[in-house]
Structure 1
Amino acid sequence: MADKMTSQKPDAETTSAARKTAFEASAAGQGAAPMQDFDFKKMFDEMKLPQMPDVEAVLGAHRRNLEALSEANRLALEGAQTVARRHMEIMQATMSGLTQTLREIAATDTPNERAAKHAELLKQAYENAVCNTRELGDLIQKSHAEAMEKLNRRFSEAMTEMQSALKK
């Protein structure tokens, strides 16, 4: 049984001789040489590879994108600062108004006058709060609209640039 296993394995000399014979046949033009007539240059010339993009144009587009993003961030920050400033002004006006209101309430003599004054001041405070909230909301909306308009304009420009680049 051991003799059968060893007899099935080709020895090194037989394998080497077979390789040498195949190589010589191939070099002499005999036998199968499937890649001999294959023209790699022709294959690569016929391939439709995409053109390399203009690196300067790509970098310029990215630079303009970053500039637009920076500008939108600047507009958003300025808007947030405006809202915070106005909110502080409203708070200061509310506090000074509250001080004045407390003095007026303390100066009234009768409970009926105080109740009427409370109702009037409550109505005025509610109207002021609604007005101030609307004003702050408008400031926020304006700030966001300016920033988004800047980004939308750049996006539109980028799409136009991409279309013209693809047509080349």
Structure 2
Amino acid sequence: MAQQKSTNYFDPKNNPFLDPKNNPFLDPEKNPFLSADVSKMFGGYGAPELKELMDSQRKNFEALAAANKTAVEGFQAVFTRQGEILKQVMDEANATIQEAQAKGGKLDPDAAKNIDQIKDALEQAVTNMRELSEMVSKSQQEAFNILNQRVGEQLDELKKSVNK
């Protein structure tokens, strides 16, 4: 079986869009940005000091680690609460089953009581879902606030560095 020859699409001979004759954006005479001296554009700005740059990156990693820790702790709290809710539901279900078994395995003949039990269970489920949703939202907001604060600090650091 013969090997196929791969085409280099970055070669102007194989790609007409990379030929300045076909693409005016690649023609230095038609595109002033290709012949511009970038060093003159940014010549007035000094490079940040390495220590400042390293400190800034260290703070970024610390903020990211704190945000991740907050998020993980929040999710652990949610999982713990889900376990508690599940245990409560199972205990209530067992109590209902034992009550029905005590009556010979039959539901209460009063349909209104049965409907009230179902209604109470549904209301409790909605309350539990709302509680879990609020826990997740709070955890995410705390993690976001940590990162948002760090972004603000970093922009202040950059502004201070540029003004030097």
TM-score normalized with structure 2 length:
0.68
Give 4+ residue runs of structure 1 displaced > 3 Å after superposition: 47-50, 105-112
Runs (5+) with no aligned partner, structure 1: 1-46
| Match for residue 97 of structure 1 among 70, 92, 100 | 92
Computed over aligned residues only, the root mean square deviation of the Cα atoms, in angstroms, reads 2.0
Of structures 1 and 2, the one with the larger relative CO (CA 8 A, separation 6+) is 1
Q: Rg: which structure is higher?
A: 1
1:132 alignment counterpart: 128
Judge conservation of contact 1:101–1:121 (CA < 8 Å) in 2.
no
- Determine the structure 2 residue equivalent to 1:38: none
Paired AA for residue 96 in structure 2: T
1:102-151 per-residue CA deviation (whole Å, 9 max, x = no partner) reads 22234458876352332111011101101100100011011101100100
1:79 Cα deviation from its structure 2 partner: 0.3
Q: Higher helix share goes to which structure?
A: 1
Match of 2:137 in 1: 141
Percent of residue pairs identical: 34
Q: Name the CA distance, whole Å, in 2 between partners of 1:118 and 1:68.
A: 53
**8 Å CA contact retained: 1:105, 1:114:** no
The 8 Å contact of residues 105 and 117 in structure 1, kept in 2 or not, is answered as: no
The aligned length equals 122
> In structure 1, what is the Cα distance between the partners aligned to 2:73 and 2:107?
49
TM-score (norm 1): 0.67
